[in-house]
Amino acid sequence: MKNRDYAHIKQSLLLEMHGNIKVVMSELKIMNGQVKEIKREQIDHERDAVGYRRKIDKLWTIMHTVCWIIFILTGSGILWRFYG
């Protein structure tokens, strides 16, 4: 009789452990999905940041070029000949 009780207890403990392992595995899968989502968001953010940097670089280059053109035209006196 005692052997049957021990076998029953052992089987119920094994089933409980198996259930706990399934729960832990499903929680790990959920966490893995969240990590993948965070990585995806980070990659999207980095792409956006690179795009903004390129736009700012182009804008800065245009502004710098215009300033130098004005500086050269006013410094050389060409602008003063036409508008002076």
Q: Which residues contact 73 (CB under 8 A, 6 or more apart)?
A: 79
User: How do residues 36-84 score in pLDDT, each as one tens digit?
Assistant: 888 889 899 999 999 999 999 999 999 999 999 988 888 777 767 776 5
In the predicted structure, residue 1 carries a pLDDT above the cut 60:
no
Model's pTM, two decimal places? 0.47
- CB 80, CB 74: distance < 8 Å: yes
pLDDT of the residue at 55:
94
Burial 61-76, CB ≥16 within 10 A → b, else e = eeeeeeeeeeeeeeee
